[in-house]
Amino acid sequence: MDNTFYSSGMTLSHSFRTGQLQRLKTALLSYEEEFYRALNADLGKSRFESWETEIGPVLQEISYAQRHLKSWMKPKRVATSMLHYPSSGRIFPEPYGTVLILSPWNYPVQLTLAPLVSAIAAGNCAVLSLPTASANTSKVLERLVADAFSEEYVRTFSGDIETNTRLLKEPFDYIFFTGSPRVGKIVMEAAAKNLTPVTLELGGKSPCIVDQTADIPLAARRIVWGKCLNSGQTCVAPDYILAEQSIKERLYTALKEEYGKLYGECPIQNPDYPKIINEQHFERLVSLLEGQKILSGGEYDRGLRKMELTILDAQDVGAPVMEEEIFGPILPVIPYKTLDEVKQFVNSRPKPLGLYLFTRSKKTERMIMREIPFGGGCINDTIIHLVNHNLPFGGVGNSGMGRYHGKYGFDTFTHYKGVLKRGNWLDVPVRYPPYGEKVELLKKMMK
């Protein structure tokens, strides 16, 4: 790993960083049509969904960083203790150096370029490991980066296992990984050998809780939308539903009806409905349906690699579909009677990346927010918390560590250097030996 470009100090100025962000924005817009074709080839994404979930969020991230970068970069004055009088304290934001960004295949544009925006804004150089499963999109990303940046500043590699293993042995200054908890452990273990700090954006089984006070048709529409986005291949997709017993049947019906309204009588033939990334993942999803009680859906087409949204009556919470992250259009529904059951069920499992609550009850809202840990989420909607720049996005426990988006992304790729400056005109002798009985005076001063 060559740090020559970073060591030159080129990346430190505001003008350089904003200029590079503008280059990225210009390049992204110039490759827009190519991304539409590539995302459709890899994941069956429509133009609308490609803009909504890939290109648009990155452009928003760039614009937000450009507007706020000057204030983010300014050293901040902080108060100091009387013990250090006369003195002043400042916090200086500085880049880590050269960072490694390992991105996944499910949102290959957004989850590669959004972290890159934060890394550039913070003044770092970057190495991007591009996903091989979404090969068409990775090829476009490779050309975009080569056109926009010098190789010494930002460069790309193919993210196959051999290359990633080699990259993880390098002493990067920071590693940002998005992917599964299983691979996240490998990344963290490799980073530990060089004492490299990491952000891990992982996943997990994100619950969706629907109580009897919820607007059932609206809840169903928003759940179906969140689950079918990218055909369920979303780290924060609703993984399963916990439905209050009294509204379970109404919710089943509403989910089926809303799915039909959104994608028609034959969703598999609908061009707005994405496909599964490859045969391996498709067959894994098919296997999850074995032995399950299917309430609606269940049809699939191996040739198109598409599967209908399949609603399950989850009789066995120990079945594979309830043990692993689904990452596809399968939605188990589990009834509950009390909120204590909900709390016990969710908290008995690894902490989820997302949680979605549909309710009109302030009491229920307070209880769930206070007593169930999770990365982030929504009340009366799904997914959309990701695109609010003022909210941090990240996991907790098994669903990840660290956060980004907006200022939180700048913070992730920034070391905050605390500096205290002492005046020379007064030097109180309390701290110097001989100490004698000065401890009582020190106690008073520290109060």
Active-site positions? Answer: 201, 235
Query: d(Cα 135, Cα 384) in Å, to the nearest integer?
Result: 27
Structure tokens at 405: 């988006």
Sign of the dihedral through C-alpha 383, 388, 390, 393: positive
Residue among 288, 329, 289, 323 at smallest CA distance from 307: 329
Neighbours of 301 (CB within 10 A): 13
Q: Pairing mode, if any, of strands 76-78 and 87-95?
A: antiparallel
d(Cα 429, Cα 176) in Å, to the nearest integer? 47
Strand order in the sheet with 207-210: 293-296, 310-313, 330-336, 240-244, 207-210, 354-358, 376-379
Examine residue 332 and say whether the peptide bond preceding it is cis (omega within 30 degrees of 0).
Answer: no
The CA distance from 115 to 360, in Å, is 35
Question: What are the residues whose beta carbons fall under 8 Å from the beta carbon of 147, sequence distance 6 or more?
Answer: 27, 30
The region that residue 400 occupies, defined by phi over 0 for left and psi between -120 and 50 for alpha, beta otherwise, is left
Report which DSSP code applies to 133. Answer: T
Total residue length of the chain: 447
Rounded (5°) CA angle 136-137-140: 95
What one-letter code names the amino acid at 298?
G
Antiparallel, parallel or unpaired: β 300-301 and 306-307: antiparallel
Distance between CA atoms of residues 273 and 289, nearest Å: 20
The whole-angstrom separation of Cα 299 and Cα 291 is 15
Contact 119, 98 (CB under 8 A): no
